[in-house]
Structure 1
């Protein structure tokens, strides 16, 4: 079973696997972010033949998103031969729920320049299985296989994969599938018990310098809380070959009464 089923050209139905960790009546935003990247890629492929590469995605999460039907529409904000800025809007019940702006870049041969100083993390075979459902409820959490190594308070490395497709009966790129799990980073390096403190993210930004491959998504994650209700989750994202980019999440940190 997939996280979403297509209804028509722009509408999708979220399934039980998309239910969230803070409230099971609401969607875990992770699959919705992947769906929006998927729609961005489909829109690009319908308009052009040169397959511009997604390099940066910024999502603004405007509020809770019920498990139900969503409408997703893409539009070009800055057309160009080698650089485009594309916006994707996800709506529920005619209300904007998530806004995405993404930069797409032309491909050039930079293989001789390839390299990064970002540290690799050990592969999933070296990590212990982690039952994330002991910390987090929700259909998404129950749908994934997780392995984790805790390095300290608010500091963990983890690998996650899912047997479920992002959209039923559709080919989805590894990039969109990876993006559909990036938001999980906020839950792999828990700084405070979510039973005591709420710390959902209000946005997510990711930058990609290499196309991810395979089924395992790796996280090298640090969570920081400030003194006045603000927080930050920072992750270097990996596939089995090494780092592919980064993801950051601004958090609203709210002690439960």
Structure 2
């Protein structure tokens, strides 16, 4: 596995314009030959950032307010292509769509709402309680509960008060998102958000499957790294659906929310 010019290993290596090869570090928790959705979500925003940087006027004073991902099928641990287009241009509100395809088939679509950046600091407020600082939270060996290259690549600090269905954790990674490329603060932050579904599980994943089919992130403040904070609650319903809900934090406090709808089913038995 190669490293970038800075010596850091990565989740992806660029193979061409809009084309990326996942490394073993992107391996999924449910299956070793699939990509974990966390680095996928960061990669799509990384591609959006490059799209905005490459057009006249860049982002035009707009900031991401909502990023909604739909998982359309199995995300194999294979080379992928990411394309970005503007589907609703505007000077104060714009909608972008990023699509990941593998083998010519779309596997993920992300829609990003960009909203005008204005000074609302005089009325800025959130009722969400801040999390304890990362240094005050013990390291949690997430790899004891979950397999996969991605889980092995991250540092997780989870509060001792966490219990089934409720968990509070800080996550960070020493890896680059794309080898040899700088990623923006939001792409790097979002690379870790999908991990929420694994920090407060209700049932042993050896007995029950509960993968998410989407990830929706709403932001009222732009996050900064290197830590992603998750205050997460998980609920399972009686008819095969579940929901993972997280208040998102950085070290300065809350920044927004993330929601993941789950398909809950028993693990097949031999």
TM-score by length of 2: 0.93
Are 1:116 and 2:126 counterparts?
yes
Partner SS state of residue 232, structure 1: strand
User: 1:64: how far off?
Assistant: 1.6
Q: How does 1:1-257 map to 2 (within 5 A)?
A: 1-47=9-55, 48-49=57-58, 50-149=60-159, 150-257=161-268
Asked if structure 1 preserves the Cα contact closer than 8 Å seen for 2:170 and 2:230, the reply is: yes
Aligned counterparts of 2:134 and 2:201: Cα–Cα separation in 1: 19
User: 1:151: how far off?
Assistant: 3.1
Q: Which moved more, 1:43-52 or 1:121-130?
A: 43-52
Aligned counterparts of 1:171 and 1:90: Cα–Cα separation in 2: 20
Partner SS state of residue 220, structure 1: strand
User: 1:99: how far off?
Assistant: 0.6
1:202-227 per-residue CA deviation (whole Å, 9 max, x = no partner) reads 00000111111121111000010000
Aligned counterparts of 1:56 and 1:163: Cα–Cα separation in 2: 26
Deviating beyond 3 angstroms after TM superposition, the runs of 4 or more aligned structure 1 residues are none
Asked if structure 2 preserves the Cα contact closer than 8 Å seen for 1:44 and 1:51, the reply is: no
Asked if structure 1 preserves the Cα contact closer than 8 Å seen for 2:188 and 2:225, the reply is: no
Partner SS state of residue 192, structure 1: coil
1:119-160 per-residue CA deviation (whole Å, 9 max, x = no partner) reads 111111221110100000000000001110243321010011
Unaligned runs of 5+ in 1: none
Asked if structure 2 preserves the Cα contact closer than 8 Å seen for 1:55 and 1:208, the reply is: yes
Q: Which moved more, 1:190-199 or 1:41-50?
A: 41-50
Partner SS state of residue 117, structure 2: coil
RMSD: 1.0
Q: Which moved more, 1:33-42 or 1:199-208?
A: 33-42
Asked if structure 1 preserves the Cα contact closer than 8 Å seen for 2:69 and 2:108, the reply is: yes
User: 1:51: how far off?
Assistant: 4.2
Aligned counterparts of 1:169 and 1:111: Cα–Cα separation in 2: 36
Unaligned runs of 5+ in 2: 1-8
Partner SS state of residue 177, structure 2: coil
TM-score by length of 1: 0.98
Aligned residues: 257
Asked if structure 1 preserves the Cα contact closer than 8 Å seen for 2:189 and 2:225, the reply is: no
